[in-house]
């Protein structure tokens, strides 16, 4: 599933074709009854169809055959459009699933028997606990844990990343995913999932939408829509009885049209599509949600708990500054520091060279050829270079360099300890630099905060989400990093159980909590959190405990996932507001049209000046039908989301989708009336 999928076309030819077929397949009453609102519309279609064939079956005028037929056709199209919206959402997911299915076809595995022999079996025959051996260029047949060996694994089929990752026995990088490929060496893997229940299987079923369960908010909204439908059904039946009692002739097709326009058909037709599209957007972001509930919970998050290392900071201590001691120039300190790091391939060494270049060092890379590099060892706690003239340049821990210089007869500068203490108190690592027995100063290494996080945390703060950083550092270091990153709070010297305590504390206050993790020790906290985002590179325990898995293993992605969840809720709310608001215009079209002939005074409500009662009713029905496909792009892509307070967001959406939902139908129905009234006149209506 490549990252290019995020920019795929909204609807391809294949998706369009499958969606059109799906729209007709979903017409089955057995399927339609799952969507009560549209099921009522389908029943209305069947009644209108019967009235077209037998116009007098309910006592209507036989001259209404054409009118009944037009109502039936419009209702049929309305149901088709609603089915089409859902089919498009499902089609986009199925298109992603096809590439994943390719990795499952005809996969064979080398099963290790108890006697040590190998047996070639189909991957589908593997059971939990079986041990397989996977060699170069072979697919890993199912999810498992590496129990022996070390190898590079190509996970591009799952993550979209072309660079192989290292997997080895023990530690937090022993988890492997079925469908990935070993590109070097070999691995002995113990299978950890039953057939058909691997991570890849879950991905396929989830992106296809086949196992998508309705979320609590979606169920609540669906219940509301059903309630409104029942209420309006009672109203229309009662109205028909009153009209019949007062000897007022109202065609049955008109009553059906009134019911269809009264009930929230727009959101009823789009509700399922919005839910599927929400999961689709998360999947296209290379995150697999184990349920729709997890995506929706993201939109309700109040507190976000983040690990410091690898999430807020890079995890590697990089050079931030050079601090010379008294009597030594900063330029000399920079040059000697770069000398010691030219052949040092560690992240720290490379960062010293990079920072030195930025600060104008005179030492070029070619100078490395004139030096003998001395590697760092745990015994010496220092590294450096020996120059051809016998000069020895070293960098290392304070105590190690202090001893080294003293043994050579040198003196320790008075201000050195103060510089070292200051750097340590800031959470940094001091590397002292000396030339023979003379100390020149200190390299300040710090765990660098990832760029852009301050702005992203500010965005979260705008929408009322509190961020808490967890770190094993001392309180002073934690406070420094927290201030630099812009998080709202921190937990210093944090142990795994402290995360659970903090999550429970926030949840006790009625808050929804999200967190990230990748290790086995993170599993309990991931399970306790309302939204647990596990890294794909992490352990099987972490992935099992979480309800979302990031295929790119980027812990900071939880920030975007929360915004996608917010977007899902906003999209559903906005389209619900639009749907209910546009019913107002339909009332002004249909109600006057129904009663004007009997009660001429009702003409005053015909504020749109629609041509005839029949054109008014049909125009409202046509608008009710065509608005569904017009809103499909919004349902699929989601309402554009900008971080802001919920009160401001509510006012904005009420202004756009509430007011827009009232104005657009007035304009649309009037335009449709101008187009259809001449045609109806030709038909004698």
Q: Which of 73, 83, 189 is nearest to 142 (CA)?
A: 189
Q: Would you say 82 and 624 are in contact if contact means Cβ atoms under 8 Å apart?
A: no
**Which residues contact residue 33 at a Cβ distance below 8 angstroms, ignoring those fewer than 6 apart?**
39
The annotation status of 642 as a binding-site residue, yes or no, is no
Q: Exposed e or buried b for every residue in 298-329, given b needs 16+ CB within 10 A?
A: bbbbbbbbbbbbbbbbeeebbbbebbbbeebe
Query: Which residue out of 130, 307, 552, 673 is catalytically annotated?
Result: 307
Q: Would you say 630 and 85 are in contact if contact means Cβ atoms under 8 Å apart?
A: no
Q: Which of 571, 565, 620 is nearest to 591 (CA)?
A: 620
Q: Which of 524, 513, 542 is nearest to 175 (CA)?
A: 542
The annotation status of 382 as a binding-site residue, yes or no, is yes
Measured CA angle at 133 (ends 127, 138), to 5 deg: 100
CA distance 347 to 363: 19
CA distance 45 to 71: 8
The annotation status of 265 as a binding-site residue, yes or no, is no
DSSP lists the bridge partners of residue 447 as 317
Residue holding tokens 């609807």? 11
Residue holding tokens 């808050």? 511
Residue holding tokens 């000398």? 339
Largest CA distance in the chain: 118
The annotation status of 348 as a binding-site residue, yes or no, is yes
Which tokens sit at 459? 């965005």
For residue 611, the 8-state DSSP code is S
Give the side-chain half-sphere CA count within 13 A for 540. 20
Q: Would you say 230 and 236 are in contact if contact means Cβ atoms under 8 Å apart?
A: no
Which tokens sit at 683? 């038909």
Q: Where are the alpha helices (DSSP H) in 54-161?
A: 65-102, 156-159
The annotation status of 376 as a binding-site residue, yes or no, is yes
CA distance 441 to 416: 7
Say whether 307 is catalytic.
Answer: yes
CA distance 672 to 619: 6
**Which residues contact residue 333 at a Cβ distance below 8 angstroms, ignoring those fewer than 6 apart?**
322, 323, 324, 433, 440, 441
CA distance 613 to 600: 12
Q: Would you say 669 and 677 are in contact if contact means Cβ atoms under 8 Å apart?
A: no
The annotation status of 378 as a binding-site residue, yes or no, is yes
Which tokens sit at 324? 């010379």
Helix (H) or strand (E) holding 449: strand 438-449
* DSSP characters over 544-558: HH-SEEETT--GGGH
The annotation status of 381 as a binding-site residue, yes or no, is yes
What is the Rg, in whole angstroms, of the alpha carbon atoms belonging to the chain? 34
Q: Would you say 578 and 266 are in contact if contact means Cβ atoms under 8 Å apart?
A: yes
Q: Which residues are tagged catalytic?
A: 307
**Residues tagged in the binding site annotation for ATP:** 344, 348, 376-383, 395
**Residues tagged in the binding site annotation for Mg(2+):** 518, 522
**Residues tagged in the binding site annotation:** 344, 348, 376-383, 395, 518, 522
């Amino acid at each position: 599933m490549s990252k290019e999928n995020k920019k795929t076309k909204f609807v391809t030819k294949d998706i369009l074709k499958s969606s059109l077929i799906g729209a007709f397949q979903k017409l089955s009453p057995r399927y339609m009854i799952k969507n009560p609102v549209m099921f009522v519309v389908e029943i209305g279609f069947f009644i209108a169809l019967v009235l077209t064939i037998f116009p007098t079956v309910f006592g209507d005028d036989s001259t209404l055959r054409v009118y009944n037929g037009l109502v039936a056709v419009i209702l049929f199209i309305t149901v088709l459009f609603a089915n089409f919206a859902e089919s498009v959402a499902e089609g986009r997911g199925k298109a992603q699933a096809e590439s994943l299915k390719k990795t499952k076809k005809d996969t064979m595995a080398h099963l290790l028997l108890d006697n040590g022999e190998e047996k070639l079996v189909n991957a589908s025959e593997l059971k939990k606990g079986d041990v397989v051996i996977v060699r170069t260029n072979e697919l890993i047949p199912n999810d498992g844990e590496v129990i022996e060996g070390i190898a590079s694994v190509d996970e591009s089929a799952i993550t979209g990343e072309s660079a192989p990752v290292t997997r080895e026995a023990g530690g937090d990088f022993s988890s492997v995913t079925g469908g990935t490929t070993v590109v070097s060496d070999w691995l002995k893997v113990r299978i950890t999932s039953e057939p058909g229940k691997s991570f890849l299987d879950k991905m396929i079923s989830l992106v296809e939408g086949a196992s998508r369960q309705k979320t609590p908010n979606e169920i609540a909204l669906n219940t509301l829509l059903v309630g409104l439908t029942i209420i309006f059904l009672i109203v229309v039946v009662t109205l028909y009885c009153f009209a019949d009692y007062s000897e007022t002739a109202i065609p049955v097709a008109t009553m059906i049209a009134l019911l269809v326009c009264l009930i929230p058909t727009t959101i009823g037709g789009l509700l399922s599509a919005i839910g599927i599209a929400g999961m689709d957007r998360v999947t296209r972001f290379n995150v697999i949600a184990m349920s729709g509930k997890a995506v929706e919970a993201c939109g309700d998050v109040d507190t976000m708990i983040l690990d410091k290392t690898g999430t807020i900071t890079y995890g590697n201590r990089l050079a931030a500054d050079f601090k010379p001691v008294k009597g030594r120039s900063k330029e000399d300190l920079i040059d000697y520091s770069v000398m010691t790091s030219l052949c040092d391939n560690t992240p720290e060494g490379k960062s010293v060279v990079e920072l030195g270049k930025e600060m104008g060092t005179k030492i070029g890379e070619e100078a490395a050829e004139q030096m003998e590099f001395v590697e760092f060892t745990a015994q010496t706690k220092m590294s450096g270079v020996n120059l051809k003239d016998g000069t020895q340049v070293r960098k290392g821990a304070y105590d190690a360099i202090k001893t080294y210089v003293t043994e050579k007869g040198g003196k320790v500068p008075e201000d050195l300890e103060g510089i070292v203490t200051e750097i340590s108190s800031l959470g940094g690592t001091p590397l002292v630099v000396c030339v023979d027995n003379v100390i020149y100063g200190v390299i300040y290494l710090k765990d660098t905060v990832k760029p852009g996080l301050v702005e992203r945390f500010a965005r979260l703060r705008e929408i009322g989400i509190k961020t808490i950083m967890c770190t094993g550092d001392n309180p002073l270091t934690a406070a420094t990093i927290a201030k630099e990153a812009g998080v709202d709070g921190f937990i210093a010297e944090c142990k795994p159980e402290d995360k659970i305590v903090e999550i429970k504390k926030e949840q006790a206050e009625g808050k929804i909590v999200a967190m990230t993790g990748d290790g086995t020790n993170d599993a309990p906290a991931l399970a306790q959190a309302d939204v647990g985002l596990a890294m794909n590179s992490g352990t099987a325990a972490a992935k099992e405990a979480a309800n979302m898995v990031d295929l790119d293993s980027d812990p900071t992605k939880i920030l975007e996932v929360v915004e996608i969840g917010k977007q899902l809720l906003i999209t559903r709310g906005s389209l619900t507001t639009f749907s209910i608001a546009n019913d107002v215009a339909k009332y002004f079209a249909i109600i006057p049209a129904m009663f004007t002939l009997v009660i001429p005074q009702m003409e005053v409500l015909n504020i749109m000046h629609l041509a005839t009662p029949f054109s008014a009713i049909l125009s409202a029905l046509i608008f009710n039908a065509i608005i569904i496909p017009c809103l499909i792009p919004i349902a699929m892509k989601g309402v554009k989301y900008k971080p802001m307070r919920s009160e401001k967001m509510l006012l904005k959406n009420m202004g756009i989708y509430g007011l827009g939902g009232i104005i657009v139908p007035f304009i649309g129905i009037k335009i449709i009336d101008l187009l259809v009234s001449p045609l109806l006149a030709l038909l004698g209506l």
